[in-house]
Structure 1
Amino acid sequence: MKKPLFGLAIVAFTISACTGDTADFKSTTLGARVYPLEGGIFEVVPPIGSTASDYWCAASDYARRQLGASWETPIYINRGMAPGEASGRRSTVLFTLNPVVSEVPHIPVRRLGAFHVGDSMTVQAGENQCKIFPRWF
């Protein structure tokens, strides 16, 4: 009886060790994971199949609930879409509340999915990107 239980324990340990995400994250209200990094930077990992708006929504939620940012506080993109530093996921974006020099000139029309370094949005504008209904509505 001990051998099957020992085998199950080894399998469970192996599977838990192979997962890409570490446990050091905060969940947002709509299910994204946010990993705090050094220097006030945080990595946003929304659920698979998310849109660009979901990244801003998660960054806003984290900034407001975990960092205590006000609605007028700007959130900046520190690094555009790339593999995660903490999560290991392929599609993550790094945000910060600290001003970042923009890599492209400011234009009045913003493309939400571009994720250029230095692009910013207030916490309130990010919150406005949140979808409260399931995707199939």
Structure 2
Amino acid sequence: MKRWGLGLALSCVALAGCLSSEGFVTSSGVRVNPVNADVFEVAARPGQGVSDFWCGAGDYAWRALGAADNERVYVVGGAGPGVTSDSKDTMQFSLKQPGDVQGATGRQGKWGPHVGRNYFVGDARHQCNQMFRRFLP
């Protein structure tokens, strides 16, 4: 039984993300939870930066939603308290433009990208590489 659990854990790390009962988690610990069919919420760990939000959004869009690297991922809710977790630092994203989604907070956060800001999914995923470089000697 322990071998199976270790294998699953290693598979999640190798894939850079895993969908569990606690939602989707990137290999760097960024959590992503669906809010509804169009909106998902990214919760970065304390002390993390804006690149963590984009990493989580891009990785989730690509791995969990099957979005292509050339699709856009949009901020639909700026930085603030989570609706799917007790995290104080979350942002909401969608593959649809802010005016085309229901159920997003739509808030303009006091920091981070504003509602409507967008990246290609591939560029957002590239932010995960930026995160790992912070930890390399």
TM beyond 0.5? yes
Kindly, what percent of the aligned residue pairs are identical? 34
Secondary structure of 1:64's counterpart equals helix
In structure 2, the partner of 1:80 is 78
Deviation track 1:21-54 (CA, whole Å, cap 9, x = no partner) reads xx54111132111010113100101222111011
For 2:134 and 2:29, the matched residues in 1 are separated by: 12
Q: What are the superposed Cα offsets for residues 56-78 of structure 1, whole Å, 9 maximum, x if unpaired?
A: 01110000000000000100001
| Correspondence for 1:109 | none
**Structure 1 residue 60 and structure 2 residue 58: aligned?**
yes
Measured against aligned partners, the alpha-carbon deviations of 1:74-128 in whole angstroms (never above 9, x if no partner) come to 0000100010001111110000001125xxxxxxxxxxx6321111001111122
> Match for residue 15 of structure 2?
none
Q: Post-superposition, which runs of at least 4 consecutive aligned residues in structure 1 deviate over 6 A?
A: none
- Unpaired runs of 5+ residues, structure 2, are 1-20, 100-110
Partner of 1:120: 118
Question: TM-score, with normalisation over the residues of structure 2?
Answer: 0.69
Match 1:43 to one of 41, 44, 47? 41
Unaligned 5+ segments in structure 1 are 1-22, 102-112
What SS class does the counterpart of residue 128 from structure 1 fall into? helix
Q: Determine which structure has the larger helix proportion and give its number.
A: 2
Aligned partners of 2:123 and 2:60: how far apart in 1?
Answer: 14
SS in 2 for 1:118: coil
The 8 Å contact of residues 29 and 61 in structure 1, kept in 2 or not, is answered as no
Q: Which has the larger radius of gyration?
A: 1
